[in-house]
Structure 1
Amino acid sequence: MMIALWVALPYAAILSCAAGHVWRYRRDGFRGYLEGPHIDRAQRAGITAVRVGLPIVFVVRVVEMLASGPHSRPGHGIQLALGIIQIVAVPVTIAGVALILIPPLISADVRQRVTPLDRITLPLLAAALMSAVLVTFDGGSTDGRYRTAETLFTWARSLIALHPEPAVMDHAPILYQARGLIVMLIIAVWPYTRLAGILTVPVVRVLRQVAAAPYRSAPTV
């Protein structure tokens, strides 16, 4: 059970995410839910908010993971800066996701295009962001120890290094296990939801512009 939860499941989530992005690109180029006349001003504002807030939240977590010791938080200055950034980025991200997902859920003309995964996306992201706050300010992370570094960060690093350490999560408090499972579920379903192209569409556009640049600058004969 330990191997299935904390080794097989995360790698399966990553595989699902990669395969899903390929499928989604071939299906609609990630533009199916983010472009067109059905996108109103509120949803466009939500798309912008998520494109700004979500990468910031992700970068903050990566920096925190890299700056944390095996059992300790980042240095006081880094920790303070990351905390201030999160106070701004997390509400912006949640508000943006709400603006994108809620209108289709209540609008009769597009409700038929809302999938079950779309319906659970907002609760999942809210749970992920709230669990991040809870583990950051966990009262058990005292006396020079930081449970996030001891559990989630150690586990994530071990997966990236292809030397999984499932035991650190198997013995982690339930809050940390729940956060790990929530994050894995988001990774697995992300390309199949309405938010799939939020970050991918700008990247695809830049790549296309770079690929087309030599042809635009080539002299005509």
Structure 2
Amino acid sequence: MNHVSPAELFWWVGLPYLALGIFVVGHVWRWRYDQFGWTSRSTQLQEHRLLKWGSPLFHYSAFAAIIGHIIGILIPESLTRALGIPEHVYRWFSAVTGAITAVLVIGGVIVLAGRRLLIPRVRATSDPVDYVALVLLLIVILTGIAPTLAVNLFGSGYDYRMTVAPWFRGLFIGQPDIEAISAAPLIYQVHATAAWAIFAVWPFSRLVHAWSYPLWFLWRPYIVYRSRIPAPPTEPGTTGRRWRKIGGPS
């Protein structure tokens, strides 16, 4: 801490706590005063073919990326070693799965960003904050992919688990290692900064719909629909009308 400048103190301590504060307070405010806006504002009616492919591709791959960050940053190297996982095995597993996830995330972002920018009906429903969130997501994705592909797969790599990860975990116990993150390569610093910016923007964008995933759909009962096309009578005196279940839970 003796060599930490005021700018580094703000950037690596003040900014993260400020972003987390905005994240929490912003969600509370929006839930209390803008529940009708608590939605992804789906553009499926404006365009559905690209959305059908881009949305699940992005969401599932992004979820996989989040799981990877939890394992790589929140779980210390000492724990994985205690579980019998050598560091070189962890690094190769991280590199391969990270590369696959990165390709899928890029594909999803290209589809979703393309339809939002190039299809007039979809573009008309977009707010400025949507583009801000999109740009920040692109920065986070690209700065996260570059070390995975260029360093972990083809080089000796940078041991972020011993530097960036302790700084991040230290934020939650009030002991962030500022010198560690200050000495990290620029690409990791940009990645972290863009991530905190997303946290600050999150409550005011359509990203809030991430907290409203309808898990109850998994056990919702079927809805019985009446067929529009009468079936031919099977017995004399019957109307031939029949009932059926369609699809899955509605």
Shorter-normalised TM range: 0.7 to 0.9
Corresponding residue for 2:211? 200
Decide whether the 8 Å contact of 2:39 with 2:206 is kept in 1: no
If you compute each CA radius of gyration, which structure gives the higher value, 1 or 2?
A: 2
CA shift for structure 1 position 74: 6.2
Decide whether the 8 Å contact of 2:116 with 2:122 is kept in 1: yes
Which structure's residues are more often helix, by fraction? 1
CA shift for structure 1 position 67: 4.7
After superposition, the Cα gap between the structure-2 partners of 1:18 and 1:208, relative to the gap in structure 1 and judged at 3 Å, is farther
After superposition, the Cα gap between the structure-2 partners of 1:74 and 1:95, relative to the gap in structure 1 and judged at 3 Å, is farther
Could you tell me how far apart the structure 1 residues matched to 2:124 and 2:64 are? 33
Which structure ranks higher in relative contact order (CA pairs < 8 Å, sequence separation ≥ 6)? 1
CA shift for structure 1 position 209: 7.9
**TM-score scaled to structure 1, two decimals?**
0.75
Q: Does 1:161 align with 2:169?
A: no
Q: Does 1:30 align with 2:42?
A: no
Q: What whole-Å deviation, never above 9, does each CA across 1:101-125 have from its counterpart, x for those lacking one?
A: 3222223234333222322434432
Q: Does 1:2 align with 2:2?
A: no
After superposition, the Cα gap between the structure-2 partners of 1:188 and 1:166, relative to the gap in structure 1 and judged at 3 Å, is same
Corresponding residue for 1:132? 144
Could you tell me how far apart the structure 1 residues matched to 2:218 and 2:21 are? 28
Could you tell me how far apart the structure 2 residues matched to 1:196 and 1:44 are? 20
- Give the aligned length: 204
Runs of 5+ unmatched residues, structure 2: 1-6, 222-250
After superposition, the Cα gap between the structure-2 partners of 1:188 and 1:44, relative to the gap in structure 1 and judged at 3 Å, is farther
Could you tell me how far apart the structure 2 residues matched to 1:178 and 1:184 are? 10
After superposition, the Cα gap between the structure-2 partners of 1:27 and 1:101, relative to the gap in structure 1 and judged at 3 Å, is farther
Corresponding residue for 1:13? 19
CA shift for structure 1 position 17: 2.4
Runs of 5+ unmatched residues, structure 1: 214-221
**TM-score scaled to structure 2, two decimals?**
0.67
